[in-house]
Each structure stands twice: as C-alpha cells, then as structure tokens.
Amino acid sequence: LVPRMFYDYERESAYELLCRLPTEDGLPFRHEGIGSPNPEVVFVGDRHGGCDGPCGDPLVFRSPCGDYLRQALDYTGMDLSEYHVLNGWVRGRAVEVYPHPGLVTFKPRVFVAMGEEAGRALSELGVEYQQVPHPQYMKRFHARDVEAYGAMLKKAATGQC
C-alpha cells in the first residue's frame, strides 16, 4: 500500500517526490510503473521520452508533462494508493500489462490509455481500455484546463468514456 503523498508543485520537483516515495525493497522505482500494487485503475502512458538519468520511469514523474498529469490526477480525488501509472512502450515494445510482481494477482477494474500510442499498446495486448488524450497534448493545447483533464481522467477511471 502506497501512502498518501502531498505534493507541493511550487516547491518540490517531480523527481524529488519520486525520490521520497517508499518501495517495498527500498530501491528506486523501476520502469514498470508507480502506484498501488493492487489498483482499481491503471493509467497507461505511451513511452518515456528523453531524460537525463535512467530512462523508463512512467511519464507521471520524469517528463515535461509529468507535473501537469500529477495536477490533473489530484483533481480526480484519487491518490497514489488507488491507482497505478505505467508506460505502454519500453524500447519500442509493448510492456506486459502486469509487469510488477504485485500486479499479477489481480485484475484492475479499468485501464485508461492516455494517448493513441498507449491505446495501441493495450490493443496489441488484447486489453480493453478507456481512452483519454495524452497529457502532453492537453498541456500544449489546453494548459489552463488541468481541472477539466482531471475530470476526464476521473470519468475514464469509472469506465464512463
């Protein structure tokens, strides 16, 4: 169970938040995903773009649109103990839907593909999903609508898209 984390967007970078999130084994988070090991909802991004450090962390923490997505997720009313975020593609290949050891023992209620690439990855794996725009698209063209994007994520998380 991941504890509720309070995130001050004005004072703390997403990377700093990532560094203080606990893991079961005490190691840094791996590319498989971040969030609950037994989530009701799995949000799937496309792939990680360029980064300065080890690549593969989900877009929620290590990308230009990560802060936008975190803010939108805050508007859903869910916290990190209720959902999981992972990338749909790693090094050009679709990831396994249940890549984290804790994820193989359950079936999430809903998968939410954030963007067309994430949808394609889930389709290739035969997974049913809800679709929302990618957070980078929303940030670029609707930057002031972060609350509306949060509502979109919440609607998708409840299977109403």
Distance, CA of 49 to CA of 2 (rounded, Å): 26
Confidence (pLDDT) at 130:
96
Q: Show me where the domains of the chain are located.
A: 14-157
Say if pTM beats, i.e. exceeds, 0.75. no
For residue 134, what pLDDT is reported?
A: 93
- Considering 29-33, 62-66, 106-110, 136-140, the range whose residues carry the highest mean pLDDT is 136-140
Per-residue confidence (pLDDT) for residue 145, from 0 to 100 = 94
Interval 35-63: pLDDT, tens: 787 788 989 887 655 444 444 445 555 56
Per-residue pLDDT reduced to its tens digit, 69-118: 988 999 999 988 888 888 775 544 444 444 444 444 456 789 999 999 88
Question: In this structure, which topology does domain 14-157 adopt according to CATH?
Answer: Uracil-DNA Glycosylase, subunit E (3.40.470)
SS (H, E, C) the chain: CCCCCCCCCCCCCHHHHHHHCCCCCCCCCCCCCEECCCCCEEEEECCCCCCCCCCCCCCCCCCCCHHHHHHHHHHCCCCCCCEEEEECEECCEECCCCCCHHHHHCCCCEEEEECHHHHHHHHHCCCCCEEECCHHHHHHHCHHHHHHHHHHHHHHHCCCC
pLDDT at 61: 56
What pLDDT shows up at residue 48? 54
Q: Quote the tokens at residue 27.
A: 């190691």
Does 32 have pLDDT greater than 60?
no
